[in-house]
Structure 1
Amino acid sequence: MGQGHAATIEYDVVVLGAGPVGENVADRARAAGLSTAIVESELIGGECSYWACMPSKALLRPVIARADARRVPGLRQSVQGPLDAAAVLAHRDYYTNHWKDDGQAGWLDSIGVRVHRGHGRLDGPKRVTVTSPERERHVLVARKAVAVCTGSRAVLPDLPGLAGARAWTSREATSADHVPERLAVVGGGVVGTEMAAAWQGLGSRVTLLARGDGLLPRMEPFAGELVAEGLREAGADVRTGTDVTSVVRRGDTVTLTLGDGSLVEADEVLMATGRAPRTDDLGLESVGFEDGSWLTTDDSCRVAGTDWLYAVGDVNHRALLTHQGKYQARIAGAAIAARAAGVPLLETDPWGAHAATADHRAVPQVVFTDPEVAAVGPTLAEAEAAGRRVRAVDHDMGAVAGAGLYAHGYRGQARMLVDLDTETVIGATFVGPGAGELLHAATVAVTAEVPVERLWHAVPAYPTISEIWLRLLETYRG
């Protein structure tokens, strides 16, 4: 079929983007009996499966496991050697299915979702034009809804020399097939700190350059301080308050010039400097929006000013996290199905089946560094800026018996944020080895608005790190 002739196919729902978010929207729509198509220009499974969550954690897990083992008396001497980097990379490749998507494509087929491979663009209301890799064109017409689930992409800053420096983004950092001897990481956020931890642990000499005064600027200040301390102890050179003014590659060496005129040389440079919505060249202008923009939605993920267009996951800029995107996808899928069936949505019910309430008050996140950082809800600064009367309750996690058993010399910090008007927990941050597994209890407490007095009756098992909850409550009561 040539480019000049485009076949038209009708579906109830058309989903743009077959990452975890798009897959979940399609699954919910199909389960409700709606004919559903999904369009993907790359690999089915998306960024999370191949260049983000899964490969990054596969790289980090042995690094963190070795660090934990070195804190256990009797085990420490057995894990002093270097990691088998080749085995770690091979394990990472296993978790990405060697960048093949047969299994995920098969799953979509098994639930009755039609996959269209190629680049999809909106072409007016409820119309999507798909151009296949072979340059064939199809027009997909959605009777009920189109869902944009195309995610986000790395943003490279406008720096002299960067265009020719062959810089890594998060994609190259998670899929690299060798361990660079020297790695410069520009950016002190989640991607920068996690990849610095991973590659330092695998044998690189890492230099981390952060513009701000500390790392992880969107979290409690003590989180960034403890992560910086952990990276330095692992051998990384961590510099904050540092601007990069140029990046130039000459042969195998990349030279970064800093704001103070000093130079950093490396074999590879990772630019971890932010994300942008993957909505460029999406045809948004054909339906009244600007290509390349974030899309504003209501709590059912329907785009403002439309009755058929949904934006789910990163593209709506609510929370750039896979688990939150999947949560939104369940909400959006239910809303699309309800509206298609003519069932009225309870728009005023913040906890109904069609409202992404947790996107506002209980967004959990784990940073898989050493130490781990786990947080949910606002930080103290965010809560105070919003005008809330709050009290931050802090406690040394290393003072808990279970923490000392988990790791000799355990270092960590916990903060519980209490709204003084409602006497409920609205946020929590835990920093320390194994802290990520503490987070869901905090997420439940924040989401359910559990009164502090009731939390006294949720007894943590002894001796576990979860006993930190009892210490926080004791500190709050005074």
Structure 2
Amino acid sequence: MTHSVEYDVVVVGAGPVGENVADRAAAAGLSVAVVESELVGGECSYWACMPSKALLRPGLARADARRLPGLRDAVQRPLDAEAVLGRRDSFTSHWKDDGQVGWLESVGVTLVRGHGRLDGPRRVAVTGGPDGDTVLTARHAVALCTGTRAVLPELPGMATADPWTSREATSAKQVPGRLAVVGGGVVGVEMATAWQALGSQVTLLVRGDGLLPRMEPFAGELLTAALTDAGASVRTGVSVTALDRPGPGSPVTLTLDDGGSVEADEVLFATGRAPRTGDLGLETVGLQPGSWLTVDDSCLVEGTDWLYAVGDVNHRALLTHQGKYQARIAGAAIGARADGAAPLDTAAWGPHAATADHAAVPQVVFTDPEIAAVGLTLAEAEATGRRVRAVDYDLASVSGASLYGDDYKGRARMVVDLEREILLGVTFAGPGVGELLHSATVAVAAEVPIARLWHAVPAYPTISEVWLRLLETYRG
């Protein structure tokens, strides 16, 4: 028997984005139900951010130690893979979501287990849950926070090749002897870094000209050199045309379009993501199943006054922290619209506008070297028609970098809007630069004038002194 329940807000998807929408809506005094078919905490908690960074951290720490006399000789042994994988498992709570469920309960949000799909305006039908079928009706809003899934290309032999996607790459129980990684984006380079450090012989196959094509070119160049020095094989300008795995447990052979081939024990395809909207009932409200959902800056789906799409499903910025930012904006907007008396402020940088999605998206790639970037690259800034200038500096010339480790290699770039003399983007590449990023994010998001940045004095001797060097280079 199907039973019906009414709430102010119904959220479909209990990953970090859905959790934050629910939290903000509940904080506004609204009743909220969250529907989840898998683990509360979502992709980030169990198959992406947390397990991947847990896998990466030991290798990065060892790389840093090897840059220092007095430590170098002490860290030549291989990593203890069992210990690394065990620590990874602890960060995923061994793929149990009790803690996340408890948090939802603590903020007054109701969890409904099962598969949720739209069943007309403001209605979500839930099936397959432990409590039977349920129809949830939303008085004010439904928020779709279902994220994305990995996309596998249609290739001969794919069906029997048993390839890894990002999920298998972050949850694998043993280290493959040989790992082929197809794709040179963030997932590809991070997993290549992690498994190479754990003992795999990694071959990275990239269709384009280089790694990290959406970032400044020097980032991919530095990373290619470092991966090669670490023992990985990086091959660019090649595509996989077929796969052959004779049987379970057998090696897989990848045929390449240049006539060559690669044999590996496992193959990871990190070749893109698609929205989890194929079975969400979008057709019941006049939307195309399987599509990305177009939203305004409050994350309201275009053409509706009640449906929100928050996080990866709207294709604005496929990053957990950016999805959580959107969730805070959307939750506040839902609360304001439900109140009626509260004015909605959707002006740029206002409380109900996810403006940073356009102008100040930060990202760290946790490789060796780390890559940290916010805002526009030089090419993106030039494409806007503005008069811009790139200012570059060799990070190895900064005293703090020299102290960080011998033979430090890195680079920094800031992209300056010459008319307004503000920063449009900043990129750092080098060991330990991830923690520099928030200073750059503040400068870009707040549009801090360069004249004022001159008075932001970096502590000596830290890597952040690169800010002073960039400003000196700009001033000449």
- Give the TM-score category using the shorter length: over 0.9
CA RMSD of aligned residues (A): 0.9
- Kept in 2, the 8 Å contact 1:148–1:310? The answer is yes
1:242 aligns with 2:244: no
Q: Which residue of 1 aligns with 2:59?
A: 63
Q: Which residue of 2 aligns with 1:109?
A: 105
Task: Quote how far apart the aligned CAs of 1:348 are.
Answer: 5.2
Equivalent residues in 2 for 1:349-428, closer than 5 Å: 349-428=347-426
Task: Quote how far apart the aligned CAs of 1:261 are.
Answer: 1.2
2:32 partner letter: T
TM-score (norm 1): 0.98
SS of 2:368's equivalent in the other structure is coil
Task: Quote how far apart the aligned CAs of 1:220 are.
Answer: 0.3
Task: Quote how far apart the aligned CAs of 1:135 are.
Answer: 8.3
- Kept in 1, the 8 Å contact 2:371–2:427? The answer is yes
1:254 aligns with 2:263: no
Q: Which residue of 2 aligns with 1:179?
A: 175
SS of 1:250's equivalent in the other structure is coil
1:376-431 alpha-carbon deviations (Å, 9 max, x no partner):
00111111111111100000000000000001111001000000110001100000
1:380 partner letter: L
Distance 1:346 1:436 in 2: 35
- Kept in 2, the 8 Å contact 1:345–1:354? The answer is no
1:364 partner letter: P
2:403 partner letter: L
SS of 2:155's equivalent in the other structure is coil
Task: Quote how far apart the aligned CAs of 1:133 are.
Answer: 4.0
Equivalent in 17, 20, 23 of residue 21 of structure 1: 17
- Kept in 1, the 8 Å contact 2:333–2:344? The answer is no
Q: Which residue of 2 aligns with 1:290?
A: 288
TM-score (norm 2): 0.99
Task: Quote how far apart the aligned CAs of 1:136 are.
Answer: 2.2
- Kept in 1, the 8 Å contact 2:298–2:346? The answer is no
1:231-284 alpha-carbon deviations (Å, 9 max, x no partner):
111110000111110111123110000001111000000000000111110000
SS of 1:428's equivalent in the other structure is strand
Q: Which residue of 1 aligns with 2:117?
A: 121
1:169-205 alpha-carbon deviations (Å, 9 max, x no partner):
0000000000000000000000000000000000000
Distance 1:18 1:241 in 2: 39
Distance 2:195 2:314 in 1: 31
1:277-330 alpha-carbon deviations (Å, 9 max, x no partner):
111100001001011100011110000000000000000000000000000000
SS of 2:350's equivalent in the other structure is coil
1:78-118 alpha-carbon deviations (Å, 9 max, x no partner):
00010000000000000000000000001111111110011
2:380 partner letter: E
Equivalent in 395, 416, 432 of residue 430 of structure 2: 432
When residues 346 and 399 of structure 1 are mapped into structure 2, their CA distance, relative to the original with a 3 A threshold, is: same
Distance 1:285 1:386 in 2: 36
Distance 1:357 1:365 in 2: 16
Task: Quote how far apart the aligned CAs of 1:344 are.
Answer: 4.8
1:82 partner letter: P
- Kept in 1, the 8 Å contact 2:297–2:353? The answer is yes
Distance 1:342 1:258 in 2: 59
SS of 2:252's equivalent in the other structure is strand
1:398 partner letter: A
2:13 partner letter: G
Distance 2:207 2:31 in 1: 48
SS of 1:409's equivalent in the other structure is coil
Distance 2:429 2:49 in 1: 20
Q: Give me the identity figure in percent.
A: 75
- Kept in 1, the 8 Å contact 2:112–2:129? The answer is no
Distance 1:368 1:192 in 2: 11
Distance 1:348 1:95 in 2: 37
User: Which shows bigger deviation, 285-294 or 133-142?
Assistant: 133-142
Task: Quote how far apart the aligned CAs of 1:347 are.
Answer: 4.3
Moved beyond 2 Å, runs of 4+: 132-136, 343-349
2:158 partner letter: L
Distance 2:343 2:365 in 1: 36
Distance 1:394 1:345 in 2: 44
Distance 1:468 1:191 in 2: 28
Question: What runs of 5+ residues in structure 2 fail to find an aligned partner?
Answer: none
1:360 partner letter: H
SS of 2:409's equivalent in the other structure is coil
1:322 aligns with 2:306: no
Distance 1:168 1:300 in 2: 36
1:402 partner letter: G
1:121 partner letter: R
Distance 2:63 2:459 in 1: 25
